[in-house]
């Protein structure tokens, strides 16, 4: 595992796994939200799809990386670039609880985030989750073509188990 794409819907555990893997196997990780949205002194600015691709190609020049994020049309190239794709798919009820728990932690200043954690964002996370579930069949069909390099995790698996694969 040298180029790892961790993919999943909101609150599936992508960032947590990326951090753990990065520390364990000494590979730098990148949040795809930070590729899509560039932080400027004026705030977060959304990059165009072409600008996102430039950032991804620059990172891909490195021999190793971990990208983590949700599925977006603008960075489909990562499925081909990755030698390992990890699809995190915990049960829906667990993701719903995590969304609300994360929101509370962010509002209380316990957990940092790159966006403004307001009620609109909380609502949108539930909308994105609902939309993902409605379109799950299409997403899983797309993943099927990458089956030879894909690992699907449905609950908190032991990191050591993952590294043995």
Our CA angle for 63, 68, 74, nearest 5°, is 90
Q: How confident is the model at residue 163 (pLDDT cuts 50, 70, 90)?
A: low
Q: Which residues of 118-152 are buried (b: 16+ CB within 10 A; e: fewer)?
A: eeeebeebeeebeebeeeeeebeeebeebeeebee
Please tell me the predicted confidence (pLDDT) of residue 119: 95
119's tokens: 């009620």
Contacts of 5 (CB under 8 A, 6+ apart): 66, 67, 68, 78, 79, 81, 82, 84, 85, 86
Q: Which of 16, 15, 5 is nearest to 80 (CA)?
A: 5
Could you list the residue range(s) of the whole structural domain that residue 133 is in? 3-164
Q: What is the tens place of the pLDDT at every residue in 124-147?
A: 999 999 999 999 999 999 999 999
Q: How confident is the model at residue 48 (pLDDT cuts 50, 70, 90)?
A: very high
Q: For residue 79, what is the domain's CATH number?
A: 3.40.50.300
Per the structure, the count of domains in the chain is: 1
Q: What is the tens place of the pLDDT at every residue in 98-118?
A: 999 999 999 999 988 888 899
Please tell me the predicted confidence (pLDDT) of residue 95: 94
């Amino acid at each position: 595992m040298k180029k790892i794409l961790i993919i999943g819907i909101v609150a599936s555990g992508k960032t947590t796994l990326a951090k753990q893997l990065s520390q364990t196997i000494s590979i730098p990780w990148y949040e795809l939200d930070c590729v899509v949205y560039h932080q400027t002194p004026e705030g977060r600015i959304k990059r165009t799809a072409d600008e996102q691709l430039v950032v991804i190609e620059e990172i891909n020049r490195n021999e190793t990386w971990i990208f983590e994020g949700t599925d977006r049309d603008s960075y489909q190239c990562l499925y081909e670039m990755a030698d390992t794709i990890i699809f995190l798919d915990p049960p829906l009820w667990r993701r719903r609880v995590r969304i609300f728990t994360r929101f509370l932690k962010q509002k209380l200043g316990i957990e940092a985030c790159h966006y403004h954690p307001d009620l609109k964002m909380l609502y949108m996370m539930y909308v994105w989750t609902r939309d993902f579930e409605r379109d799950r069949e299409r997403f899983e069909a797309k993943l099927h073509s990458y089956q030879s390099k894909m690992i699907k995790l449905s609950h908190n698996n032991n990191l050591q188990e993952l590294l043995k694969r």
